[in-house]
Structure 1
């Protein structure tokens, strides 16, 4: 299908006020103290891994595996639904009003809007449904079972977003992209126009240097 009117939105910190998967999996660890306690003996090593670019992602993968250990797919999806309900019942505004308004404007203009996110797919779907955005197509990360827990299967992050979007009928180039992070540089390179959402100074410099142009910035998160 033609992609000349496709608009791609990142999810976390573009449409939302916080990293949704991080909050969810941390909550799963805290629900049962033994899971958190299991991490304590390894904490110095995990902190060292976080400090090194080559191993930075490993502590996160270990934490996700431990948070999901012993839980079936059905149980995890039920927990995602419960978490989404709790987020909206708790009164904290997850979605940024200005970001949602821009997304809806693109829909009203006839653009094909798709959300591409590193968030776990069932969690992102549950949050979008609670936020009244269930109809927006979603391309997100998936998990697979491994040694009693769950680990990454397809990660919808960085350059991986391109083939994952293409496989769902949203091949580049795209008309517009919105993101908050320089990890989405491959997405921006393949978009006719792009917009940064409340980027950090370092992120802004990195993207403008890489693309050799001034960025369009919106301060939706202040």
Structure 2
């Protein structure tokens, strides 16, 4: 049976979860766009041709967004409306349900559900398209949780991020939607340092091994750094 959760009170504490590598083992947006590219030989060829230029850009944090945008453009060329794109997302999620379910992290979902049972105000803030996160969360009966994600619209004959829910912009998008003081924030990424620093109790989950020491330096002493089941990631087993 589907579990029901109490409606959070107006004064309930706010808990913010990142999505990729936090609730989901991997980068959900990259999986979607890779599927879109692979299913069309011309898109595959185009992706191969741009990789010498765009591949190195993806590898570096300052240029990653620009590098990814090239692949997103190839993956979505011919789509002209957000509604079309959301329909493709729903098609992808339905077609890959077993694989996607397997990537949802049980320990993370336990913590997620525990906050909801406690009556906390829970929101997901992700760089992925919000429709993608919502569709995946629907598999585990959390489709009613608010999702703040990257806004997508038409761009040069394809779809692109008109506003990327990332770094400081993620905080601005949360504030614009009425989310104020953050009690607890969960994320894997140094890109979410503004979110983690804004939280009374930041929790780092599934960080890259190479970033663990950095998180310990820049976040308050005693900040928990946990691993919720991402085998290739760092953090203390939870």
**Does the residue aligned with 1:170 lie in a helix, a strand or coil?**
coil
Task: Quote the Cα distance in structure 1 between the aligned partners of 2:122 and 2:166.
Answer: 18
Give ranges in structure 1 of 5+ residues lacking alignment.
none
Shift of 1:160: 1.0
**What is the alpha-carbon distance in structure 1 between the residues aligned to residue 11 and residue 67 of structure 2?**
37
Distance 1:85 1:192, change over 3 A: same
Deviation at residue 90 of structure 1 after TM alignment: 4.5
Equivalence for 2:85 = 76
- Report how far residue 54 of structure 1 moved: 4.0
After superposition, the Cα gap between the structure-2 partners of 1:53 and 1:21, relative to the gap in structure 1 and judged at 3 Å, is closer
Aligned mates of 2:214, 2:144 — CA distance in 1: 34
Q: Which runs of 5+ in 2 are unaligned?
A: 1-8, 232-238
2:178 maps to which residue? 169
Partner of 2:5: none
Q: Tell me whether 182-191 or 80-89 shows the greater mean CA deviation.
A: 80-89
CA distance in 2, matches of 1:183, 1:91: 24
TM-score by length of 1: 0.91
Q: Alpha-carbon deviation of 1:48?
A: 3.6
Q: Give yes or no for the alignment of 1:188 onto 2:188.
A: no
1:116 partnered with 2:137: no
Q: Does 1:88 align with 2:120?
A: no
Per the TM alignment, residue 91 of structure 1 is displaced from its structure 2 partner at its CA by: 7.3
Q: Does 1:211 align with 2:219?
A: yes
Q: 1:182 to 1:51 in 2, by over 3 A?
A: closer
CA contact (8 A) 2:14 2:182 kept: yes
Would the alpha carbon gap of residues 212 and 106 (structure 1) be closer, same or farther in structure 2, given more than 3 Å must change? closer
**Shift of residue 65 of structure 1?**
1.0
TM-score by length of 2: 0.85
Matched, 1:134 2:143: yes
Inter-partner Cα distance in structure 2 for 1:207 and 1:86: 37
Give the conservation status (yes or no) of the 8 Å contact 2:93–2:100.
no
Structure 1 segment 49-60 matched on structure 2, within 5 A: 49-60=57-68
Count residues with an aligned counterpart. 221
Match of 2:40 among 32, 54, 60: 32
What does residue 4 of structure 2 align with?
none
Q: Give, in whole Å, the separation in 1 of the partners of 2:203 and 2:60.
A: 30
- Of 204, 209, 213, 1:201 maps to 209
Say if 2:130 and 2:149, in contact at 8 Å, map to a contact too.
yes
CA contact (8 A) 2:54 2:70 kept: no
Correspondence 1:23 to 2:70: no
SS in 2 for 1:15: coil
